[in-house]
Amino acid sequence: MTTIAFIGLGNMGNPMAANLVKAGHAVHGFDLMPENLTIAKDHGVVIMANAIAAVRDADVIITMLPAGKHVLSVYEDIAPKAKKRTLFIDSSTIDVESARKAHAIAGKHGLLSIDAPVSGGTVGATAGTLTFMAGGSKDAFARAEPILKPMAGRIVHCGDGGAGQAAKICNNMILGISMIGVAEAFVLAEKLGLSNQALFDVASTSSGQCWSLTTYCPVPGPVPTSPANNGYRPGFAAALMLKDLKLSQEAAQSSGAVTPLGAEAAQLYALFNAQGNAGADFSGIINFLRGAPA
Ligand code: NAD
């Protein structure tokens, strides 16, 4: 049993913390929202008065927060108070630069750290099947792996500090671009009088095959479990897709990478969100391309 501090018990953090409790760990939790603390308490998390109290006895600290500024502010507060040899795991999706700064704060206090963003959404967080993309030293990763296991379907060590966040935003840039590509193909097929099923049957076994088509098909019918069959309820909300595409474009700008399709995808998702679709599944972009509400 390990004592784990869990800071950020929102839609993702709460089910992740619950899986750590189920695995037999003592989880000391903190969140700014009292209603999230109530849910965590029901899952067996020991609720603490603030982040500093949560980390006091912890051997491992996990953060699951909205953005880089939240992670850096929490790290500045807790790193000086953490026990020696404490491992910091940040599973939030944040910009690569902030992730590297977070590693530097931990390092300054002699603490091990990894960035370990996830994919798999709230369904994966509840089922304990998230994919973790980890960045950090071999030592830090070796200590983190058994802690991540009860929450994970797959854990990949991507490289040094920040590499997990880099992998996450590159993957999600592919996802945003490919969803728009698949949606455009269905819109064109409809105009050409081709049925959704016929396009699916051909493309899903041909060179057009990709996850956005075969798992997350943006039209109802061919893949019964995709959000298109459920009124485009998320799933993966368009607001989160826009967040990740913006992070990819910030990273492209600061590193000098040329990503014109990533930039276009970010623009299209910004327009889709601005039309009141931030809470819809990101595959609902097909309705935006048709000129209809999601
Ligand atoms: P959320 O908004 O539901 O949860 C974030 C929580 O952090 C909130 O409960 C908030 O009160 C808390 N918080 C903010 N500042 C805090 C502070 N200083 N101290 C303590 N608590 C604080 O968001 P979420 O959906 O759980 O996502 C968390 C992270 O995971 C984000 O970075 C998101 O991009 C990423 N992510 C989300 C999904 C998803 O499907 N929801 C999937 C993959 C990755």
Locate the domains of the chain by residue range.
3-161, 166-290
User: Does residue 130 contact residue 152 with C-beta atoms inside 8 Å?
Assistant: yes
Which among 220, 223, 217, 232 has a CA at the least distance from the CA of 276? 232
Question: What is the pLDDT, as a whole number, of residue 158?
Answer: 98
Three-state secondary structure call for residue 257: coil
User: Does residue 164 contact residue 135 with C-beta atoms inside 8 Å?
Assistant: yes
User: Mean pLDDT of all residues in the chain?
Assistant: 96
Radius of gyration of the chain (CA): 20
Q: What architecture does CATH give domain 3-161?
A: 3-Layer(aba) Sandwich (3.40)
Whose alpha carbon is nearest atom 25 of ligand 1? 11
Residues 6 or more apart whose CB falls under 8 angstroms from that of 271 comprise: 288
Which among 82, 90, 132, 143 has a CA at the least distance from the CA of 109? 82
pLDDT band at 12 (very low <50, low <70, confident <90, very high): very high
Q: Model confidence over 170-227: pLDDT tens digits?
A: 999 999 999 999 999 999 999 999 999 999 999 999 999 999 999 999 999 999 999 9
Question: What is the pLDDT, as a whole number, of residue 83?
Answer: 93
Query: Does the pLDDT of residue 294 top 80, yes or no?
Result: no
The answer to whether the 3-161 and 166-290 domains have the same CATH topology is: no
Whole-number Å distance between alpha carbons of 6 and 137: 22
Identity at 168, one-letter amino acid code = K
Whole-number Å distance between alpha carbons of 9 and 261: 34
Query: Does the pLDDT of residue 35 top 90, yes or no?
Result: yes
168 is catalytic: yes
Going from the C-alpha of 8 to that of each of 46, 207, 255, 266, the distances in angstroms are 14, 41, 30, 27
DSSP 32: S
Whole-number Å distance between alpha carbons of 118 and 93: 8
Question: What is the pLDDT, as a whole number, of residue 293?
Answer: 57
Q: Which of 33, 64, 115 to mutate to test the pocket of ligand 1 (most atoms within 8 A of CB)?
A: 64
Residues near ligand 1 (Cβ within 6 A) = 7-13, 30-33, 36, 51, 64-66, 70, 74, 92-93, 118-119, 121-122, 236, 240, 243
Distance 11 CA to ligand 1 centre (A): 7
Domain 166-290, classified CATH 1.10.1040.10, yes or no = yes
Mean pLDDT of the region 159-164 = 98
Give the tokens for residue 257.
Answer: 């990478």
**Integer distance in angstroms from the first to the last C-alpha of the chain?**
47
Distance 185 CA to ligand 1 centre (A): 34
Question: What is the pLDDT, as a whole number, of residue 122?
Answer: 87
Q: Model confidence over 59-84: pLDDT tens digits?
A: 999 999 999 999 999 999 999 999 98
Whole-number Å distance between alpha carbons of 134 and 128: 17
